[in-house]
Structure 1
Amino acid sequence: MGQKQQSTADPTAEPKKRRRVGFFNLDSGIEAKDCIKVYLVSSKEEVGSPDSFCIDPVDLNSFFDEDGKIYGYQGLKITIWVSSISFHAYADITFESTSDGGKGITDLKAALQRIFAETLVESKVDFLQAFSTGSNLIGSMISSGEILKLKASNGRVTDCNSDLKAAISDVEVVRMVVGKTAAGHLYSCLIPLVLLLVDGSSPIDVSDPSWELYVLTQKKPDQQGEIQCRVLGFSAIYRFYHYPDSSRLRLGQILVLPPYQRKGYGRYLMEVLNDVAVSEDVYDLTVEEPLDYFQHVRTCVDLSHLLVFDPIQHAVSSAVSRLKQGKLSKKIHIPRFMPPSSVIDDIRRSLKINKKQFLNCWEVLIYLGLDPVDKYMEDFVSIISSRVMGDIIGKDSGTNGKRVIEVPSDYDKEMAFVMYRSQVGEASDVQMDENQTNQEEQLRQLVDERVKEIKSIAQKVTGHRV
């Protein structure tokens, strides 16, 4: 049997080329905030102008897919204009090309509809025309509402700061019941700005008549001399029943449009809401999950009322005198400098400030009473530290506290403690877990932030006394 002969390779022949493997270029997408600009405009001349007011949304990414990215576009640019006259919106979308890079192509129209709904118009011509056809839209919608004026008799208007004086010169607050057609329509127009500018917000139920809309408006002549009614901001208030024959007001949303912020309008709106609570003798006025900046403004407003409220002066003086008596920072048990319960009840009945908010103001009142403040600052910080430490484990606003005591345990050394509630007025030291080495540092940071906030508020209410 013959053998199969092996072919001899030609040394001069070219080597075979290796096959190259190509890798698929997966589309990494672009974040919505990186390709979208939103402008608030009050005239057709401002559309496309470099002087247009650009607003900064809290979170655009949440409206685009699960990871907040836009896929399938190269060179994408989205410019959105929102009219402050009719609240219509128009989106100018440009891009170089589209291609499916493995994640599909984002439906931009559907995504923008999730924000702007029926206020989004497809034609730029229609958007520009709405500045003329919709110039009286806001005025017609609020015409059936109740105009509220800040009462000058309470002393808050004549002695207010310059920003607030400017704010109240040409504005009105109109109250509308959301369950009615006009109020529901107006709020629907405002929803896109609520979603864009209020962190964690969701629309209220416009069919529920317990919601009330307080709209801050201003009448200004346009370029043709026609008077236009503009919305500067608004607040949505829910009215709860309170047994037996009263109600409670809860502020669910408040927004001053970006061009009008930091000019006193928000404070004016809060003053009007306080007047409503007092004049209608509701049980109290509360706020649902206030943001830090709004809480700062709210506390300044409430303090301006508390500083001229005579029934509280004795309680503040007494607390300040106790603080000045000794070195609290050297004591093992630091007493809580709480106001009498009768004072807390009086504040709620007269000023409609709820307990939690009043206790927030109480620390500022004590700080304002210290003179010279530097001499007693160490003891004041000790009081804040004691209160913050108690709040970390859920102390009920300084009333009955909780105490933690370590006890022997053969079962689990990490769980060797007993917690019990102390009585009113009883010293309530809190033993922190020694295994958490950074807990003390976290506490110090919280105390520093609170003291800094108190100083800032104190400076504002004394430098701009209402």
Structure 2
Amino acid sequence: MAGVNEMEKKLAEYKCDTNEAICLKLVRFPEDVEDEGTTFHPEYSHQLFGDDEVAFGYKGLQIQLYYTAGNLSTLFKVKYSARVTETFDCVEPDDVEGKIREIIPPGFSCNTDDFISLLEKEGNFKPFGSLLHTYKVHNVEEGVDLTYQIHKVDILSAGFREYHERLQTFLMWFIETASFIDIDDDRWDFFLVFEKYNKDGETLYATVGYMTVYNYYVYPDKTRPRVSQMLILPPFQGEGHGAQLLETVHRYYCNSPKVQDVTAEDPSENYVKLRDFVLVKLCMALPSFSTEKLAHGFSEEMATEAREKLKINKKHARRVYEILRLRNTDMSDEEKAREFRLEVKKRLFGPYRKNQRELTKMRKCLSPEELASHISQMDTRIQHEELEKSYQEVLGDYRRVLERLSQA
């Protein structure tokens, strides 16, 4: 038994955390390749390496996936200090290289010198598609304003299909439930963010992030664009690019009379926060969301104007109303705070009310034991506690949006 435990301990030394082992880079200059300060790591690697996010069979494993900043030409190398087969017979290491090859398209470099020669061709890379929006972000470290551009891209743009195959590999590392899309379907729209920068007096472009949107058909003659994937690459996160991208995409669809409203597919918590901020910013300019009208409660006028002018659906318009109502409510005034709380809770109570209606229908076909079980699940005191908890969470979310709004 002791021998087995000893063996297990030794084998455990050959396990590596794949989120640490995978080293990603966006390379602008040859010196970036050796600069550890330019390295970033995945948030997730479970789609390739299982729920434990572990690779077995190596010590000191390093999986290098380096990309040229603009064209995303790729360097892929696997390095390690020791392999399990050097110590143990009949124990096979994981096929790390094979797993990575499943998601990165062919045509990558395995040699650093080849990769650096590709880096020298970055001057030929220009953003795809048509320019929708240009904006600046102040870089505190460098003390300069950096220029960014957002482009709408057609899949038929020369070279874009191959570029997109390289770009979408990042989804696996930063979106928990990511999957690759069928870009041959012409209902997809692509929006990309690029940074414009100078290198030795030459203007170059770096990839910052992107969004894919699928245009669903709505009877009889409309479409409903649904945001499918959105990613700002880690070196650019926290600089406001997500808000710029989402607002630009919204404004793009606002110009189309064929668009019913803009939605999102299975939005993450972070995406909902971003959408709240962007939609509140957009709705503040609408007459129906004026301070005076907010005081009279949510109205059909708000829902209609938000839909017709900004392609915002009623559910999201209601949320925007609540955030702006909070902004105009003196929460230190007990009566005003109570009014706001009751209005939000009334909306939050909707699902509970639905449950009660369903229970009434079920009474006829449930046994007494089953009925008792369902009723106990809907205990009034528990309902009130859950409602209060939901309200406090919503209030926290709304306050964070308002805080960001005041900083903007």
Query: Which TM-score tier does this pair reach, normalised by the shorter chain?
Result: 0.7 to 0.9
CA contact (8 A) 2:19 2:41 kept: no
**Does 1:209 pair with 2:195?**
no
Of 344, 348, 358, which residue of structure 2 is paired with 1:384?
A: 344
Residue 21 of structure 2 corresponds to which residue in structure 1? 35
**Does 1:318 pair with 2:292?**
no
Distance 1:93 1:445, change over 3 A: farther
Provide the rounded CA distance (Å) in 2 between the counterparts of 1:112 and 1:415: 52
Same amino acid, percent of matched pairs? 19
Give the residue type in structure 2 aligned to 1:125.
D
Provide the rounded CA distance (Å) in 1 between the counterparts of 2:277 and 2:49: 38
Residue 393 of structure 2 corresponds to which residue in structure 1? 449
Say which one has the larger Rg: 1
For 1:67-86, list aligned pairs within 5 A: 67-86=52-71
Give the residue type in structure 1 aligned to 2:405.
V
CA contact (8 A) 1:311 1:343 kept: yes
Of 422, 434, 444, which residue of structure 1 is paired with 2:379?
A: 434
Structure 2 residues without counterparts, runs of 5 or longer: none
CA displacement at 1:239 relative to structure 2: 2.0
Residue 239 of structure 2 corresponds to which residue in structure 1? 263
Stretch deviating more after TM superposition (71-80 or 226-235): 71-80
CA contact (8 A) 2:46 2:52 kept: yes
Provide the rounded CA distance (Å) in 1 between the counterparts of 2:189 and 2:366: 58
| CA deviations over 1:34-73 (Å, ceiling 9, x no partner) | 4333333322211121321x32422123312575432222
Give the residue type in structure 2 aligned to 1:457.
V
CA displacement at 1:76 relative to structure 2: 2.9
For 1:314-463, list aligned pairs within 5 A: 315-319=293-297, 339-371=298-330, 373-375=332-334, 376-391=336-351, 402=357, 411-416=367-372, 433-434=378-379, 441-463=385-407
CA contact (8 A) 1:191 1:203 kept: yes
Residue 228 of structure 1 corresponds to which residue in structure 2? 204
Provide the rounded CA distance (Å) in 2 between the counterparts of 1:442 and 1:256: 34
| CA deviations over 1:112-152 (Å, ceiling 9, x no partner) | 21232326421122122211124423x1x61xx222137xx
What TM-score comes out, normalization by structure 1 length? 0.73
Give the residue type in structure 1 aligned to 2:71.
S
CA contact (8 A) 1:219 1:228 kept: yes
Of 272, 275, 280, which residue of structure 2 is paired with 1:303?
A: 280
CA displacement at 1:317 relative to structure 2: 2.0
CA contact (8 A) 2:19 2:53 kept: no
Of 272, 279, 287, which residue of structure 1 is paired with 2:248?
A: 272
SS at match of 1:455: helix
Provide the rounded CA distance (Å) in 1 between the counterparts of 2:195 and 2:202: 13
Provide the rounded CA distance (Å) in 1 between the counterparts of 2:256 and 2:264: 18
Residue 4 of structure 2 corresponds to which residue in structure 1? 23
Higher helix share: 2
SS at match of 2:196: strand
Provide the rounded CA distance (Å) in 1 between the counterparts of 2:2 and 2:149: 70
Distance 1:204 1:167, change over 3 A: farther
**Does 1:117 pair with 2:120?**
no
Provide the rounded CA distance (Å) in 1 between the counterparts of 2:363 and 2:61: 63
Residue 423 of structure 1 corresponds to which residue in structure 2? none
SS at match of 2:79: strand
Residue 149 of structure 1 corresponds to which residue in structure 2? 133
Give the residue type in structure 1 aligned to 2:404.
K
Distance 1:453 1:22, change over 3 A: closer
Give the residue type in structure 1 aligned to 2:234.
P
Give the residue type in structure 2 aligned to 1:74.
K
**Does 1:132 pair with 2:120?**
yes
CA displacement at 1:207 relative to structure 2: 1.0
Structure 1 residues without counterparts, runs of 5 or longer: 1-19, 151-156, 320-338, 396-400, 420-430
CA contact (8 A) 1:367 1:373 kept: no
CA displacement at 1:253 relative to structure 2: 1.4
Provide the rounded CA distance (Å) in 1 between the counterparts of 2:366 and 2:227: 51
Give the residue type in structure 2 aligned to 1:447.
Y
SS at match of 1:262: coil
| CA deviations over 1:404-456 (Å, ceiling 9, x no partner) | 5697999333424999xxxxxxxxxxx96239x97665544332221111111
Distance 1:120 1:462, change over 3 A: same
Provide the rounded CA distance (Å) in 2 between the counterparts of 1:136 and 1:162: 26
CA contact (8 A) 2:76 2:110 kept: yes
Aligned alpha-carbon RMSD (Å): 3.5
